[in-house]
Amino acid sequence: MGKIIGIDLGTTNSCVSVMEGNEAVVIPNAEGKRTTPSIIAFVEGGEIKVGDPAKRQAVTNPTKTIASIKRFMGHTFAETQEEAKRVPYSVVKGDNNTPRVDIDGRLYTAQELSAMTLQKMKKTAEDYLGQTVTEAVITVPAYFNDAQRQATKEAGEIAGLKVMRIINEPTAAALAYGLDKKGTDQKIAVYDLGGGTFDISVLELGDGVFEVLSTNGDTHLGGDDFDQVIIDWLADDFKSEEGIDLRLDPMSLQRLKEAAEKAKIELSSSAETEINLPYVTATASGPKHLVKKLSRAQFEKLSDTLVKRSMEPVAKALKDAGLSTSDIDEVILVGGSTRMPRIADEVEKFFGKKASKGVNPDEVVAIGAAIQGGVLSGDVKDVLLLDVTPLSLGIETMGGVLTKLIESNTTIPTKKSQVFSTAADSQPSVEIHVLQGERAMAADNKTIGRFHLDGIPPAPRGVPQIEVTFDIDANGIIKVSATDKGTGKSHDIRIEASSGLTAEEIEKMKKDAEANADADKIAKERAEKLNEADSMIFQTESQLKELGSKLADDHKVAVEYALTELRMAHQSQDIPAIQTALDNINAAWKTATEAMYAQGEQGQQAAPQQEQSGDNVEDVEFEEVK
């Protein structure tokens, strides 16, 4: 059995880890970094860049550089209108009411784009392990609903990975934190503020059992929102002074985004930072520059509502777990956004204790995912993970009411059945409207699927007995079935289309992703061949200067001719011609240098003969001339 890798697919950054013996190892990417920006760029020539190379060119290519795509995962187009206004790339309505990113007329789903980041993680692991990787555990925010979980699973499939388990990010962090503390009983709270989402989970650890007691969160709250308050502050101030809204120009917006993120990071360790954006835009009167100072106190005032928003789910999770703050033994901060001093202060104030500094907030989730991979493969023993479903599940009943079958924070996997009946006389069929959420009315909750049970025999209302069963697996993915107990007729659905993609679409995207991987390989080989040619031209020019006088004229001409051929092929970027020219120049050099060394050997053989002829020379006496 091959290795099961653990991937933290983040809004801002992603990370990959694997079990090596008894320890989870975070794998550095090709750029030598332990985390990879979740950024994809489409550049000229059809090349796709992922990670740091994509991030580096974002300012000059804002409309084709995709960041924070996780915030669109598993949502309908209507649900993403606010998110779409914040990004410089074009988000349009696609099939099945899904949001799609328009790149030169080709519409990409959030799953396809996330799959490109996952492919990068897969390749990173394969380069490190020296073997093909096909299986992974991928993390999601604990408060992700079924559609978002299914979309994440689909992204993995498109990337060529069999997703062995979808695991909640705070649970993964707890697993990484508690693996070496298996003998201790303790209750922990995991506060996870990432780039785009927020989760809080309360867990009980003891004897290798990691049991989630409750979870809560906000899938629209993260580091991006803290960046946004700085962006809006800068843009509003600039607009009042210059009358120009920088948010309307993709390139200016991208520069604002990068400056805001940089300022936020600097304010985690400094009391003040300067934001300096020369030539941020131009008018008829000339170029305009943006220079502003932002203090930590000012930033904390701007982001105060966001911090308070994060504390509401914390209080609810603690209440749902039936615990008070004094019952919590450890508080763990996860996600890069928890480096903001105000966050740590607020969390520590709420719980009345210092947060644990024993984990790396950027890497701990991937490490936990790798440990779960080790549990599934049998490499990690005596660990049992008991997670929960984050949201209540139910169906719509008469009057538009949500009737819950499974309450939030129920341990998974789980199965629950309930018997319902018809609302009208002689009703031949029933529509099962499956929903997820906490609101009393069905319309206020998230629809995750609909299906019909037909062929119900005519009977007065309330007589037929229809048993509806919910089955949630360990990934938090739902299967619903309905059975007419009178006839035995049943219908069941695995809620797979809730993410907006059919099995055929996923398969097509998988093939496209494989084709992209092939195209990337070709692009890499092309770049390497051009570099090889460039290097050979430089070396040949240097060697001709150094050794040209020692080469026979015909050999020197042959090398110079091959060099001219190589220069022309390199200029036209004709790869087959470059390879031919490289072969020719190597052959010309081989012939020339063999002849040069042969000539050198002949010269060395001639030297002893001259010494021998010296034996016949007679000794003479010299007289000094005065």
**Per-residue pLDDT tens for 391-416?**
899 999 888 889 999 999 899 999 99
pLDDT value at 518 more than 80: no
Cα distance between residue 154 and residue 141, in whole Å: 16
pTM comes to 0.78
Assigned domain for 163 exists = yes
Cα distance between residue 305 and residue 575, in whole Å: 57
Domain containing residue 547: CATH number:
1.20.1270.10
Cα distance between residue 567 and residue 586, in whole Å: 14
pLDDT value at 448 more than 90: no
| The two structure tokens encoding residue 521 | 């390989």
Same domain, residue pair 480 and 595: no
Determine the average pLDDT of the residues in 549-574.
86
Assigned domain for 93 exists = yes
Predicted confidence band at 182 (pLDDT cuts at 50, 70, 90)? low
pLDDT value at 544 more than 70: yes
pLDDT value at 601 more than 80: no
Q: Where are the beta strands (DSSP E) in 340-383?
A: none
Q: Distances from the Cα of 69 to the Cαs of 100, 142, 246, 369, in angstroms?
A: 10, 18, 22, 21
Domain containing residue 60: CATH number:
3.30.420.40
pLDDT value at 118 more than 90: yes
∠ at Cα 378 (377, 379), nearest 5°?
95
Domain containing residue 228: CATH number:
3.90.640.10
Same domain, residue pair 142 and 60: yes
The pLDDT of residue 496: 44
Question: Which percentage of the chain shows pLDDT scores above 70?
Answer: 92
The pLDDT of residue 335: 94
Is 141 in contact with 217 (CB distance < 8 Å)?
yes
Cα distance between residue 172 and residue 141, in whole Å: 10
Q: Distances from the Cα of 298 to the Cαs of 22, 347, 437, in angstroms?
A: 46, 20, 36
Assigned domain for 615 exists = no
Predicted confidence band at 447 (pLDDT cuts at 50, 70, 90)? confident
The residue type of 521 is K
Of residues 83, 157, 192, 484, which has the active-site annotation? 192
Cα distance between residue 194 and residue 71, in whole Å: 11
Number of structural domains found in the chain: 4
The pLDDT of residue 110: 96
Determine the average pLDDT of the residues in 143-155.
92
Is 201 in contact with 214 (CB distance < 8 Å)?
yes
Surface-to-core class of residue 187, CB atoms within 10 Å of its CB (0-12 exposed, 13-18 middle, 19+ buried): middle
Cα distance between residue 453 and residue 431, in whole Å: 7
Of residues 112, 169, 218, 363, which has the active-site annotation? 169
The pLDDT of residue 494: 53
Cα distance between residue 573 and residue 533, in whole Å: 10
Structural domain ending residue among the three candidates 501, 532, 558: 501
Same domain, residue pair 244 and 327: no
Lowest mean pLDDT of 202-211, 394-403, 451-460, 463-472, name the range.
451-460
Query: Would you call 85 a catalytic residue per the annotation?
Result: no
pLDDT value at 109 more than 90: yes
**Greater model confidence, 505 or 128:** 128
Query: Tokens 């037929």 belong to which residue?
Result: 464
Give just the sign of the alpha carbon dihedral 615, 616, 618, 624.
negative
Q: How far apart are the first and last CA of the chain?
A: 98
Same domain, residue pair 288 and 265: yes
Instruction: Give the phi and the psi of residue 323 in degrees, each rounded to 5.
Output: -125, 160
Of residues 49, 55, 64, 70, which has the active-site annotation? 70
Same domain, residue pair 27 and 95: yes
Same domain, residue pair 248 and 322: no
If one counts every other C-beta atom within 10 angstroms of the C-beta of residue 86, the result is: 18
The pLDDT of residue 625: 53
pLDDT of 246-264, one tens digit each?
999 999 999 999 999 999 9
Lowest mean pLDDT of 105-119, 517-531, 535-549, 563-577, name the range.
517-531
- In eight-state DSSP terms, residue 617 is P
Structural domain ending residue among the three candidates 501, 520, 547: 501
Query: Would you call 169 a catalytic residue per the annotation?
Result: yes
Quote the radius of gyration of the chain (alpha carbons, Å).
33
Determine the average pLDDT of the residues in 579-606.
78
Instruction: Give the phi and the psi of residue 192 in degrees, each rounded to 5.
Output: -120, 100
Secondary structure of residue 329 in the 3-state scheme? coil
pLDDT of 68-98, one tens digit each?
999 999 999 999 999 999 999 999 999 888 9
If one counts every other C-beta atom within 10 angstroms of the C-beta of residue 89, the result is: 23
Cα distance between residue 180 and residue 367, in whole Å: 13
Same domain, residue pair 573 and 519: yes
pLDDT of 263-272, one tens digit each?
999 999 999 9
Cα distance between residue 578 and residue 543, in whole Å: 20
Cα diameter, the chain = 149
Same domain, residue pair 490 and 580: no
- In eight-state DSSP terms, residue 216 is E
Predicted confidence band at 334 (pLDDT cuts at 50, 70, 90)? very high
Mean pLDDT, the chain, rounded, equals 88
pLDDT value at 150 more than 60: yes
Predicted confidence band at 292 (pLDDT cuts at 50, 70, 90)? very high
Same domain, residue pair 77 and 22: yes
Assigned domain for 195 exists = yes
If one counts every other C-beta atom within 10 angstroms of the C-beta of residue 587, the result is: 13
Predicted confidence band at 384 (pLDDT cuts at 50, 70, 90)? confident
The pLDDT of residue 31: 93
Cα distance between residue 136 and residue 338, in whole Å: 27
Cα distance between residue 121 and residue 36, in whole Å: 8
If one counts every other C-beta atom within 10 angstroms of the C-beta of residue 605, the result is: 8
Assigned domain for 309 exists = yes
Of residues 3, 8, 264, 346, which has the active-site annotation? 8
The pLDDT of residue 618: 52
Structural domain ending residue among the three candidates 364, 388, 412: 388
Is 220 in contact with 195 (CB distance < 8 Å)?
no
Same domain, residue pair 210 and 314: yes
Determine the average pLDDT of the residues in 117-136.
96
Cα distance between residue 287 and residue 275, in whole Å: 17
> Could you tell me whether strands 186-193 and 330-334 are parallel, antiparallel, or unpaired per DSSP bridges?
parallel
Is 10 in contact with 195 (CB distance < 8 Å)?
yes
The pLDDT of residue 497: 44
Nearest C-alpha neighbor of 247 from the set 84, 99, 61: 84
Same domain, residue pair 528 and 484: no
Assigned domain for 132 exists = yes
| The two structure tokens encoding residue 324 | 């008070």
Whole domain around residue 509: which residue ranges?
504-604
Determine the average pLDDT of the residues in 37-50.
92
Q: Where are the beta strands (DSSP E) in 194-341?
A: 198-206, 209-218, 272-283, 286-295, 330-334
Determine the average pLDDT of the residues in 94-122.
95
Same domain, residue pair 103 and 29: yes
Assigned domain for 61 exists = yes
Determine the average pLDDT of the residues in 113-141.
96
- In eight-state DSSP terms, residue 356 is B
Nearest C-alpha neighbor of 493 from the set 452, 528, 521, 531: 452
pLDDT value at 56 more than 90: yes
Assigned domain for 611 exists = no
Cα distance between residue 591 and residue 397, in whole Å: 88
Determine the average pLDDT of the residues in 23-28.
96
The pLDDT of residue 230: 98
Determine the average pLDDT of the residues in 184-213.
92
